[in-house]
Amino acid sequence: MTIAARHRLAVQALDLKGDEQILEIGCGHGVAVGLVLERLTTGRITALDQSDKMIAAVRSGSPKAKARLRTIAKAIEDVDWGAETFDAIFAVNVDLNLRLGERWAPLVKNLLKPEGRFVLAFDPPPGSGKADAFADLAMQRLGAEGFAIQSLRGEAGIAVIKATSPAG
């Protein structure tokens, strides 16, 4: 199976060590989930998607994952996370700005451990120019929450934003 650049770039930007607790927002069919699972040794990924169909696809595509994979069929804002936190959170082609407006950055901050990593990868339609507007607004919202931000321009105009949450 060919892996799209947006998935590969997002997972590379996570800089995984193998023992982390990871959350993917909007996991779709699980392409990036598979890439993360290849890198996890003792860690675990939580694959989150609003679609039961997508969650079923992730489960069927990862039969050997066992305890390293948890799936949740809900929107991020509808999950009762309790005190759970993650070492890293990422989303590929999920426009959190459009879906959640100003609410998403504080939500992500609360779900990350201190100095946790957050990665957004956005692969816009060719010639649309949407990557810059997406990245600018995402960086503005993350900056307002105290994140340290890097903008990594990927191949073919893919916007990749890597942010680190504030230390405790």
Tens of pLDDT, residue by residue over 42-91, are: 999 999 999 999 999 999 888 788 889 999 999 999 999 999 999 999 99
Q: Provide the CA 166 distance to its chain's centre, in angstroms.
A: 18
Q: Up-side HSE of residue 112: CA atoms within 13 Å toward CB?
A: 26
What is the set of domains in the chain, with CATH numbers?
Answer: 5-76+84-164 (3.40.50.150)
Segment 114-139 mean pLDDT: 88
Q: What is the mean pLDDT of the chain?
A: 92
Does 1 score more than 70 pLDDT?
no
Query: How far, in Å, CA of 118 to CA of 23, rounded?
Result: 9
Query: How far is it, in rounded angstroms, from Cα 83 to Cα 118?
Result: 18
Instruction: Return the pLDDT at 111.
Output: 97
**What does the block give as tokens for 98?**
């459009």
pTM, whole model, 2 decimals? 0.95
Helix H or strand E segment including 159: strand 159-164
What digits encode the pLDDT tens for the residues 26-45? 999 999 999 999 999 999 99
